[in-house]
Amino acid sequence: RIINHFPNHIELTKKDLMVKNIKRYKKELEKDKNKPPTKFQYIDFLPVTYTLPGDYNLFAEEFRKNPSAVWIMKPTDKARGIGIFIISKLSQIKKWSRDKLQLSVVDTYVVSRYIDNPLLIGSKKFDLRLYVLVTSWRPLVAYRHGQGFGRFCAVKYNRDIEELDNNFMHLTNVSIQKHGEDYNENNGGKWHFKNMLLYLNATRGKEATQKLSDEIDSILINSLRAVQSLMINDKHCFECYGYDIIIDENLRPWLIEVNASPSLSATTADDKAMKVLLS
């Protein structure tokens, strides 16, 4: 019998555990005097992130150091953009906490520094969805699908604080964007990753684009290595992970999250052709 999940995949796919494990892995590498710097030079691929309510005091301290920063709140165990909101004031967190207590709800959230300088194409924010198949953890055997795609917001991006609650400008999830009046049903708000690399080659140069591609590969590899020793390695299991990565205006990639059971439903003919190859 073959199973399409590893028993404890949440070490990578639950947002708070992913952050904890990558932070631990980075510290382990930095303490290892025998490892050259190149082994962990790309481990700084997570935005500053805290888990709430547990890390509230640490978060509040960081917030006061950078009062102009913008943060994004995400429930640790939900997908498709459910429960996500963006904040710019500490009072918003306090109100959120009070509301949760009144409802007797103690959901765990992660709060991350919002990447407010994203790379824009056509003045719109986007992120990348890439697919990685793991067939073994020990030894680590993983494959990145040759395709992948950018997911675009339907509304042109701006940094105005007044626009932070505009999900059609800030959240790239297709499950959110498809409800917007500016959503393009013909292309589904998606663009193939290979075409995007060709565009960046033309607009930002071959060297910069190759560096970006290498750093994305490093994110994939190091995030897997971060949980490799924790994963139950069952020879009857395999798993496909959906990586969400955002690129800032300096062509620096940031890992946003890793999804278990990434959606294989298609919104366009091109989307279907790509996802058929995944199934």
What count of other Cβ atoms lies within 10 Å of the Cβ of residue 211? 14
Per residue in 235-270, pLDDT tens? 999 999 999 999 999 999 999 999 998 877 777 777
Q: Where are the domains of the chain?
A: 30-45+117-278, 48-114
Pick the closest to residue 6 from 224, 251, 278 (CA basis): 224
CA-CA-CA-CA dihedral for 50, 53, 57, 58, to nearest 10: -10
Per residue in 98-142, pLDDT tens? 776 655 566 789 999 999 999 999 999 999 999 999 999 999 999
The conformation of residue 238, written as its DSSP 8-state character, comes to -
Domain over 48-114 is classified CATH 3.40.50.300? no
Assign a CATH topology to domain 30-45+117-278. Answer: D-amino Acid Aminotransferase; Chain A, domain 1 (3.30.470)
State percent of the chain over pLDDT 90: 61
- Phi, psi dihedrals of residue 34, rounded to the nearest 5°: -85, -15
Task: State how far the Cα of 150 lies from the Cα of 147, in Å rounded to an integer.
Answer: 10
**Topology match between the domains 30-45+117-278 and 48-114:** no
Q: What is the pLDDT averaged over residues 138-147?
A: 92
